[in-house]
Chain A
């Protein structure tokens, strides 16, 4: 008797097999959704590589455009994008990290900080063209900086600040509160605790946020087209007060504004732009994986 109960107790019942079927169905459904998500990326990349891959060369990357942009390379735009992104980072990263540290580590939870948090979320939701017009009004005209790399970068910095703040805040808050309390109980000040315990353990998240910001900044067009990016300017910028060409605007220009352009050229520009972004994103993923491997608790 015991034998039969022993062998029977793990037999499948009708309910079990129904559950199994439902599970399979949902698994399949979710998998299809995931594939659907990857599909556009694959299509975009293949199209760009097939149509624009041929034009890529060292010369294409490092020479000026010629013949009214219908020939030549993209060097001024490439360099201009690097300038704009770098200056934007120099502004938004310190400000954003400082703000996030304040909000996460110093500020108490009251109506004031709640309003600030709300403002940050809303800032993230403001359309980029609105940021562009704000940039024109505030930096180019009011502050008198003029259309320049600096004005473009300031506009981008303000637009991407929420990304930095939110990413930093989240990684700070991922550090368990018990660590902070243990430190405070030893007589450490808040600042000492942040320096020695909180920040070193939040660095990976902060870096990831910064790199994501880079990839977003690289592709933005609207905020820079009125504030600092030039339609065609085959001269390399000498300082942050110069105008410059930029990859994203250049793509827009060669795709829509210039007649008689070889078909491969816009695809080539788009390919370089997307490769820059993908490079940044993979760097971010690699960094995240590397630092997660060194997780300390």
Chain B
């Protein structure tokens, strides 16, 4: 019996793809007594979309923040455990800027920097030392195109990015993250300020992007995780309840009944 190639690929990806990020016993505390995440261990594999679902206060955002050492500038945030990025412990990384530049971040509330649209997207390449106009033009167009924003702004690239509408700013933020040419793209509820049609366009882009990078998708929309993620983790109250192939989780093949309840919308 020969399995269809695609199915085989899905089944095999579990064993073969190397770990891009490995998290061991990660705990995150704020201040002296608040625990945002406790003892989470998981692997995020290269070129997958890794979905994280869970209700508010589950520790999803804190998890993302720990991955690019945002705790360095988040007051009161303390981290224990190990995080390996390309098998290197990020605690030991001297050049934290190089680490951060390899990880693109998109947060729920868009941040259009007070620069022109063009400069917003050209900022990361310029930080890398690319200053040639022609090269920058190409990068800016490609990133805006991918973030589904190019058509709307191509005639006013010199307008201020911070004055775009909320949804446009969010796509600008995505374009900016892509301009870093990141190895990992972390999206934290990116679609909250974006209309459904555009969300679909960006989702299509994400499916293509995973050929080039690893994507971590935190989402409140369970169906979005279903549509996009190869594997999904369910976080609840600072614990990682379950990790599994998205197809398994959504076809009822779960180890913990809480996961089933959440996916089916019975709580959260």
Contact = CB atoms under 8 A, between A and B. Distances in A.
Interface of A: 109, 178-179, 181-189, 192, 196-197, 200-201, 296-297
Interface of B: 68, 70, 73, 75, 97-105, 109, 111-115, 123-124, 127, 160, 162-163, 173, 176-177, 180
Contact of A297 (B104, B105, B162): B162
Contacts of A192: 127
A181 B123 CA distance: 14
Contacts of B176: 182, 186
Contact of A187 (B73, B113, B114, B127): B127
28 contacts: A178-B111, A179-B111, A181-B73, A182-B111, A182-B113, A182-B173, A184-B70, A184-B73, A184-B100, A185-B68, A185-B100, A185-B103, A186-B104, A186-B123, A187-B97, A187-B99, A187-B100, A187-B124, A188-B97, A188-B123, A188-B127, A200-B114, A201-B114, A296-B163, A297-B112, A297-B114, A297-B162, A297-B163
Contact of B109 (A178, A185, A201, A296): A178
A187 B75 CA distance: 19
Contacts of A196: 115, 123
A179 B111 CA distance: 7
B160 A189 contact: no
A186 B111 contact: no
Given A185-B103, A197-B113, 17 more contacts: A182-B113, A182-B173, A182-B176, A183-B123, A184-B70, A185-B70, A186-B124, A186-B127, A186-B176, A187-B98, A187-B99, A187-B127, A188-B127, A296-B114, A296-B160, A296-B162, A297-B160
Contacts of A178: 109, 111
Contact of B97 (A181, A189, A197, A201): A189
A184 to B, nearest CB: 6
Contact of A179 (B100, B105, B114, B177): B114
A183 B111 CA distance: 10
A201 B115 CA distance: 10
Nearest to A177: B73
B100 A197 contact: no
Given A184-B100, A185-B68, A185-B105, A197 B114 contact: yes
Contacts of B103: 185
Nearest to B128: A187
A203 to B, nearest CB: 12
B90 to A, nearest CB: 13
